[in-house]
Structure 1
Amino acid sequence: MHPDTVEVLDSSEDTVQVTEVEEENDNDSVAFPEQHIAQLEQQLAEVSEKANLYWDSLLRQKAEMENLQKRVNRDLENARKYALEKFVSELLAVKDSMEMGAEAATKPEADLTTLQEGLTLTLRMLNTTLEKFGVQEINPHDQKFDPQWHEAMAMQPIPNVEAGTIVFVHQKGYQLNDRLIRPARVVVAKAIE
């Protein structure tokens, strides 16, 4: 209120004065909201633009993730399909050698010594291929029986042999790196009663 309004004691004048002040404030508030609305519209436009940029970025990242997932799935599928490719190609050389030996054995001029040498070379080639891919032979003759690596086929009392010692290997075992593929099947010495 204005200072001269305070001096007027008449309630009707006071009402008029208050009304005049309110009208002045209404005129100011009409101008102010228009300016305020313009600012809000500008801020809304800026925020909308940022939101659109973020949305676009999100959609692009989602598409990239989907493409990456498809690529990873395709690579895994190819790895499953072709994981043994190198191993198989190495084994084919062994197969070829075995076929040549089998063919040579059918010829009348076949020499037993030559066939035996060829078979020994083929076996050596197979062992080399298996070792190259981490396959190791388990041949535990004269070792202590270990149920993690050996399978007891029989137990026999053997003089002068400590109980639990492997005395005969029926079938060699194999491991791939540190994983057992097949246990060695063995005969184990037992205590003489």
Structure 2
Amino acid sequence: MGDKDFEEPNGDEVRPGEEGSEAHASDPAPQDGSGDEGEELTVDDILGSPQNADAAAEDAVIADLESQLLNDLKRLQAEYANYRRRTEDQRELEIERAKGAVAKGLLPVLDDLDRAEKHGDLVEGSPFTAIAEKLRALAERIGLITYGAAGEAFDPQQHEAIFQAPTPGTTEPTILEVVEIGYRLGSVELRPAKVVVAVPAE
């Protein structure tokens, strides 16, 4: 082979491996999803992210706790109201019992004053009369009420008949004489009035 048979390649000829390199260089770059066509949706976007689910669960727990606390508060308020009512009722009952004990202790003294008055021993202006007036005022202040008087209709619920006297002209049982005055403390009867009853004569 001579020197003329071997020719060096010129610059215009394409060497192996370089074919189509210019075409590849002009190809458009692959899209990375950041173009103008918009981002693709993910599973989290459709179903909700785990962070959103946790927040919703926390809100539900907080709502349940608030509801439970509100119910507990209402229950405590009702229990306290019932406690106050029971305490007030018990206090009133104890006050009435104390008044009743004091009033019952005064009844014999008041009976003696009534007997003294019937016998004319309570002279106006005397020290004994002044003491009697003070004791009767005390009995009135604590709520002690007397009942039973001659001429009233006989009521077996309030009066205790110790004797029945047939009396001409009487059409219904009537108190003829009060032997022992009856006493009430408010609506509570401490002692019934002991009376002589006039009944119709046969």
Task: Indicate the TM-score class for this superposition, using the shorter chain for normalisation.
Answer: 0.5 to 0.7
Residue matched to 2:162: 153
Q: Is the 8 A contact 1:166 1:187 kept in 2?
A: yes
SS where residue 176 of structure 2 aligns?
strand
Q: 1:175 aligns with which of 184, 188, 192?
A: 184
Note the alpha carbon deviations across 1:111-170, whole angstroms, 9 max, x for none.
Answer: x999x9444333322222222233211131122212232121111124565552222211
Distance (whole Å) between structure 2 residues aligned to residue 35 and residue 162 of structure 1: 98
Task: Report the AA paired with residue 61 of structure 2.
Answer: S
SS where residue 177 of structure 2 aligns?
strand
Q: Is the 8 A contact 1:91 1:126 kept in 2?
A: no
Matched, 1:129 2:144: no
Gaps of 5+ in 1: 1-26, 93-111
Q: Is the 8 A contact 1:90 1:129 kept in 2?
A: no
The number of residues matched between the two structures is 148
SS where residue 173 of structure 2 aligns?
coil
Aligned identity (percent) is 21
Matched, 1:51 2:64: yes
Task: Report the AA paired with residue 43 of structure 1.
Answer: A
SS where residue 63 of structure 2 aligns?
helix
Gaps of 5+ in 2: 1-39, 106-120
- 64 and 175 in structure 1: CA distance in 2 versus 1, 3 angstrom threshold: closer
Matched, 1:188 2:197: yes
Tell me the TM-score normalised to structure 1 length: 0.53
Q: Is the 8 A contact 1:150 1:183 kept in 2?
A: yes
Distance (whole Å) between structure 2 residues aligned to residue 89 and residue 189 of structure 1: 34
- Higher alpha-carbon Rg: 2
Tell me the TM-score normalised to structure 2 length: 0.51
